[in-house]
Structures are given as C-alpha cells and as structure tokens.
Amino acid sequence: MPELDEVKQAESASAAEHPFAIEKVRQDFPALSLSVHGKPLVYLDNAASTQKPLSVLDAADRCYREYYSNVHRGVHHLSQKATDAYEEARCKVQGFLGAARSEEIVFVRGATEGINLVASTFGRSRVKAGDEVLITEMEHHSNIVPWQMLCGDVGATLRVAPIDDRGEVILEEYEKLINERTRLVAMVYISNALGTINPVARMIEMAHARDVPVLVDGVQAVPHKAVDVQALNCDFFVFSGHKMFGPTGIGALYGKLDLLTSMPPYQGGGEMIRSVTFAKTDYADPPARFEAGTPNIVGAIAMGAAVDYLQGIGLQAICWYESGLLDYATEVLSAVPGVRLVGTPTHRASVVSFVIDGVHPHDAGTILDREGIAVRAGHHCAQPVMDHFGVPATVRASLALYNTRQEIDRLVSGVAKVKEIFS
Amino acid sequence: MSELMDLYQEVILDHNKHPRNFGQIEAADHCARGDNPLCGDQLTLYLRMDGDRVAEVRFEGQGCAISTASASILTEVVTGKTLEEVEALFESFHELLTGDPSVVAEVGPELGKLAVFAGVREFPVRVKCATLAWHTLKAAISDGGEAASTE
C-alpha cells in the first residue's frame, strides 16, 4: 500500500511542522501583534527574553487583585492563599525540572543570582586556595564572572575547557581538566551565543567519576526542551523565568537537598531563620534558608503559570517544532551569499548566530529593526566565544515556540536589504 | 527607509569601507582605548600634539559603520585644531546628535563634514557609536590612562 504510506509520511511531515496549533499559540501572546516601524513585529530575540502569554499576565494580575498578601507570615486568609499559591509555584517548578522534592527548588531573581548564590555559599565554604573551578569556553558572562570573583578572593584557579571551531566543547580536554583539585564544574546546557547543546549528562558523569559536583546553567534549555535534573544527575541547575515566558526578576535554583542542607545561608534577613537572638541565629532549612526577605511572590506565581503554559503545549512538541524551524532558518540563511554562520555544532537549539561580509552586526541590527525584525546584535554576554571565532559580535536570531517560517523568510529579506545598503 | 538612507549616507559608508588615518602613531604623545560594551566596538586613538594644536591623529580597532566612520572623520576634522577648538567641536557635534533640532540648524554649518551624522539623531541607540571616538579623544587628551567607555 504505497499510497497509504505516502499519506502517512505526509501527515507526519505536517505534524513535524505544526505539532500544535501555531496560530492559536501566537494569539496567546499579545506582543506578537505589535507593529514596529510600521511593519508587523518579527520577534527573534528570544534568547535575550521571551514575550509573555495571556495566562502569565492573568496569573500576575489575578494575584494582585484577588489574593495578594505577604507569604509565610500572617495567619489571615489572604496570607494563607498567597502562601499556598507561592508554594504551589515551587511544586510546579519541581515537576518542570523533575526534581525529587520541592525543598530542592529555591526561588531567586534569575539564573545570575542562582549562580552567585552557589558561588558565595557552596563556593565560599568548599573552594580554598589552590583549588580549581572548571567552566567551558562557551559560558555566558554570568557563569564566568561569579567564579572569577570567587577564585580571586580565595586564591583558587579558574580553568576553562576549550571549544572547537564548530562550537562544541572538546570532551577529551574537558575530561583532562577535571582533577583532584577541582571543586566544582559549572557549564551551560545550551549556549546562548551559538545554540550548542552540550552533552551535559556525559559531562556530569565525567565530573562525578572524580567526585566533582556540577552546576548546569539551563537558562536556554528550559523553554526549548524537557529537562530532568534527576536523569541528568546534576547537583545544581539554574534558570530564569523571563526567558521561558514568565516575568522578569524571578528564576529558580535547583540543588540536591543534601548539598543545600550543607550550605551556609546566602543573604541574611527575615524568612531564612528559625530563631534569632542577639547572641545567635539558627537558620531555617532549605529552601527558606536561601530566600531572605519578602520574595518575588507574584513573579513566582506567574512563572508557575509559564510552566503550565509550556507543559500544556508539551516540551516534546515544542522541541520537535523548533528543531524543524531551526533547520529551515539554517538552510535559508546559509544560502544567502556573504552570510556566514558562527557555530555549527551537530546538536543545536533555537539560535542562529551569523555575520554578514563587510557589515558590522550592529548596523545589520539597526536595518533589520527598521524592517520590524528584532534580533540581537552584539557579543551576547559571551565575549570569550566571540574571541574564539575572531569576530567582535554576531547577529543572533533566536527562536521560540511562536515563531514561523514566514518570519524566517522576513529575516532573509531583511538581510538582503542590509546587503543592499552596504553594497 | 529614508531614515536609514539618512543614517547610512554615502560619506559614512565610504569612511567605513576606507577609514582614513587608520593605524598607529609610533611617537604618539597621547593614546587611549575606547569601548562600547553594548555592541563590542573597540578602538584605540593615537594623538601627536604640536604645542596646543593637534598635529596628527590616527586610530585602529573595529566597530560598526557609524563608529568607524565617526573615528575616521574625527581624524580629519580635528587635525590642526587647538584643544579648545576640539572641545567646542565635540560640543556642537553632541548637540547635533542629541539636541533640539532648531538649535542644531544654527550650529550645523560650522560642523562641516560632521553634519553627515545628523541622521543618527533618529536612532538614539546609535548615538553612542557616533560619539565613541570623541569620548576616546577626550580620554587621550586628559591622558588618565583609563579606557573610555560609552557606559
């Protein structure tokens, strides 16, 4: 029955293109119907920050209107409701990351604060003079600078696992750099500058073989693919809410409970204590120990709504759809004469970084903006990556679940306009 | 599109492609590095003085068309000027990019070549690109030894 097979193939091909109702999804995001410079917005700056669906906006609005109060404090009705919603958000994040317990989820301002928290608690109590911290060459500045500061302060050394010219970590080199002085490995799951998906499970295994704990910067992973921290067996995992359709100013740190329990507090204040006298303070157990002060209550609740939104569509479907879209973007952009892709790893997600012959990315960004196309032009807070590829900056188009092939076509036309002006 | 054409005028594209006075001055009296951390523009400016007058300016580095053209044109317009004249020129230039358009019409003529940057006004985020070389020049003159930054 060749005909039936063909039908099936066609069906599965169209399912791969649209495993969910893309038009309906686009309607969920009010910002996607904006016009910029008189043209319909094409938003391709998702690795910097994503737009927000109505359900996230509603969740924040509802909290402020209907049950807003401080959490973990009052015995009154509103405080109880707000506390329940805040803790429910923690459980949603726990489920989202596949963590064993909700106590392993600490709310933070974002991935940057999550990393700084680990550097100044775990780091300061475990990393001593002569020790080493290992990162990779493709880290975002947020996963470089906190370790540099820590190492500088305690007299430890920051080691960097090199990448190759495709933009992949050289695993043999990485493995060689793990030694008896290594106290922690910190690595990005998916590179924000190149889109490289690191083989983190394998890299974690290599570190664990030498009893070295691993922190994974999962910011660019969670909006694009299913994550299971237990399957990865990472020791810490951080992400930011605003890069996965949630609000700004909220994110989460996952830490294995035994590690969190062994760590000193991050900031001092209310919420993180068990009892306080002027002689001595007993600290609360995790996660409260690391959440001093009134937390970003509404942010956490709205981020929980973003988790619901992603899970409602399904990370599998999102991953499938975006991978087709990325292949398309890669194909049509590489076909443009004078366009060179920066980073060509085998496994890549959501990001196309490129340069145009004779045109600085910043100029390309301005011209694309006038076409209604939002891209990032710059070093993407990853200057060492730019140095590796010998470019000062790149144009980065970064995709999300709501982007379409038509938008990629608009990008390609925009690039043609850039070339025309600079011809 | 017309705003883009105002921004990317022929003169600017030409200076971007063929920057004038590009390179170092071995016997420079002053030197400073400028960074625009937002977009990664970097340039180093070399300055040789003859008393109170600028005898020679050269630059090297990499940046967008606006910052490269601005540095290139800067080297042409400040050569031979006194430090006081340079300072006044920078002020007029800054006014051109950010000031009240009616005032700009008055200062316009004395800007000479720098007037090609009038289109930058419509692109506020690019003002930093156009002024990077000028901030760097100021840093070089004052010779604090610190890199100039647009931030």
Any domain includes A153: yes
Residues A24 and A67 in one domain: no
Q: Cβ(B126)–Cβ(B36) under 8 Å?
A: no
pLDDT value of position A303: 98
Residues A344 and A267 in one domain: no
Q: Cβ(A351)–Cβ(A195) under 8 Å?
A: yes
Show Cβ contacts of residue A132 under 8 Å, excluding neighbours closer than 6 positions. Answer: A156, A157, A158, A159, A179, A181, A182, A183
SS3 of B86, please? Answer: helix
B4·A386 Cβ contact <8 A: no
Supply the DSSP symbol for A285: P
Over the stretch A373-417, which tens digit does the pLDDT of each residue have? Answer: 999 998 888 889 989 998 889 999 999 999 999 999 999 999 999
Residues A227 and A330 in one domain: no
Given a cut of 70, whether residue A349 has pLDDT beyond it is yes
pLDDT value of position A133: 98
Q: How would residue A140 be classed by pLDDT, with cut points 50, 70 and 90?
A: very high
Over the stretch A149-163, which tens digit does the pLDDT of each residue have? Answer: 999 999 999 999 999
Helix orientation angle between A297-313 and A77-97, rounded to the nearest 10 degrees: 40
Q: Which of B8, B40, B126 sits opposite A379 (nearest CB)?
A: B40
> Which residue from A minimizes the CA distance to B125?
A366
Alpha helices in A281-314 (DSSP H): 297-313
Q: How far apart are CA A390 and CA A387, in angstroms?
A: 5
Beta-carbon pairs below 8 A across chains A and B: 51
CA distances from A303 to A60, A74, A312 (A): 9, 23, 14
Q: What's at A368, amino acid-wise?
A: L
Residues A86 and A146 in one domain: yes
Please confirm whether the linkage preceding A287 is cis (ω < 30° from 0): yes
Residues A306 and A330 in one domain: no
CA dihedral A320, A230, A142, A222 (to 10 degrees): 20
pLDDT value of position A414: 98
Number of helices and strands in chain A (H, E) = 16, 17
Any domain includes A1: no
Q: Please, what CATH class does the domain formed by B2-142 belong to?
A: alpha beta
Q: Cβ(A237)–Cβ(A187) under 8 Å?
A: no
Supply the DSSP symbol for A123: I
List the structure tokens of B132: 């990077």
Give mean pLDDT, residues B33-51: 89
Of A294, A312, A330, the position where a domain reaches its end is A312
Percent of chain A with pLDDT over 70: 96
Which residues are paired to A273 by β-bridges? Answer: A283
- Give the pairing of strands A236-240 and A182-188: unpaired
Q: What's at A122, amino acid-wise?
A: F
Give mean pLDDT, residues A6-10: 51
Q: How would residue A146 be classed by pLDDT, with cut points 50, 70 and 90?
A: very high
The 3-state secondary structure of B106-147, one letter per residue: HHHHHHHHHHHHHHHHHCHHHHHHHHHHHHHHHHHHHCCCCC
Q: How would residue A1 be classed by pLDDT, with cut points 50, 70 and 90?
A: very low
Q: Tokens 């995790």 correspond to what residue?
A: A286
Given a cut of 60, whether residue A12 has pLDDT beyond it is no
List the structure tokens of A374: 């939002």
CA distances from A352 to A15, A26, A287, A380 (A): 23, 21, 37, 12
Any domain includes A145: yes
How many domains is chain A built from? 2
Q: How far apart are CA A260 and CA A168, in angstroms?
A: 31
Percent of chain B with pLDDT over 90: 72
Any domain includes A165: yes
Which residues are paired to A160 by β-bridges? Answer: A135
Q: Which of A363, A393, A422 sits opposite B40 (nearest CB)?
A: A393
CATH number of A332's domain: 3.90.1150.10
Residues A258 and A391 in one domain: no
Residues A272 and A305 in one domain: yes
Residues A376 and A246 in one domain: no
ipTM of this model? Answer: 0.88
Any domain includes A307: yes
Percent of chain A with pLDDT over 90: 88
pLDDT value of position A423: 87
Given a cut of 60, whether residue A10 has pLDDT beyond it is no
B4·A383 Cβ contact <8 A: no
Instruction: Identify all chain B residues contacting A377, using CB atoms and an 8 Å cutoff.
Output: 39
pLDDT, chain A, mean? 94
Helix orientation angle between B10-17 and B65-78, rounded to the nearest 10 degrees: 90
Query: Model pTM?
Result: 0.91
Residue A381 falls in the annotated catalytic set: yes
Give mean pLDDT, residues A5-26: 68
Residues A267 and A357 in one domain: no
B39·A393 Cβ contact <8 A: yes
Closest CA to B115 of B77, B149, B150, B84: B77
Over the stretch B62-103, which tens digit does the pLDDT of each residue have? Answer: 899 999 999 999 999 999 999 999 999 999 999 999 987 766
Residues A227 and A190 in one domain: yes
Residues A34 and A102 in one domain: no
Q: What size, in residues, is chain B? A: 151
**Nearest-5° Cα angle at A51, A45 to A53:** 155
Which residues are paired to A283 by β-bridges? Answer: A273
Q: How would residue B41 be classed by pLDDT, with cut points 50, 70 and 90?
A: confident
Give mean pLDDT, residues A181-187: 98
A421·B41 Cβ contact <8 A: no
Given a cut of 50, whether residue A2 has pLDDT beyond it is no
Instruction: Identify all chain A residues contacting B129, using CB atoms and an 8 Å cutoff.
Output: 362
- What domain range is A375 assigned to? 11-49+314-421
Give mean pLDDT, residues B14-41: 91
Of A312, A345, A380, the position where a domain reaches its end is A312
Q: How far apart are CA A207 and CA A227, in angstroms?
A: 19
Any domain includes A341: yes
Q: Cβ(A229)–Cβ(A221) under 8 Å?
A: no
Q: Which long-range contacts (CB under 8 A, 24 or more apart) does A141-147 make?
A: A141/A381, A141/A382, A141/A383, A142/A111, A142/A112, A142/A115, A142/A217, A142/A381, A143/A115, A143/A186, A143/A187, A143/A188, A143/A217, A144/A384, A146/A112, A146/A115, A146/A116, A146/A119, A146/A120, A147/A119, A147/A123, A147/A186
CATH number of A111's domain: 3.40.640.10
Q: How far apart are CA A341 and CA A110, in angstroms?
A: 29
Q: How would residue B108 be classed by pLDDT, with cut points 50, 70 and 90?
A: low
**Smallest Cα distance from A228 to chain B, Å:** 35
Q: Cβ(A225)–Cβ(A94) under 8 Å?
A: no
Q: How would residue A327 be classed by pLDDT, with cut points 50, 70 and 90?
A: very high
Of A282, A312, A342, the position where a domain reaches its end is A312
Label residue B80 left, alpha or beta by phi (over 0 means left) and psi (-120 to 50 means alpha): left
Any domain includes A400: yes
Over the stretch A293-317, which tens digit does the pLDDT of each residue have? Answer: 999 999 999 999 999 999 999 999 9
A367·B4 Cβ contact <8 A: yes
Residues A134 and A204 in one domain: yes
Give mean pLDDT, residues A217-240: 98
Any domain includes A371: yes
Cα dihedral sign, B132-B134-B140-B142: negative
pLDDT value of position A73: 79
Give mean pLDDT, residues B132-136: 96
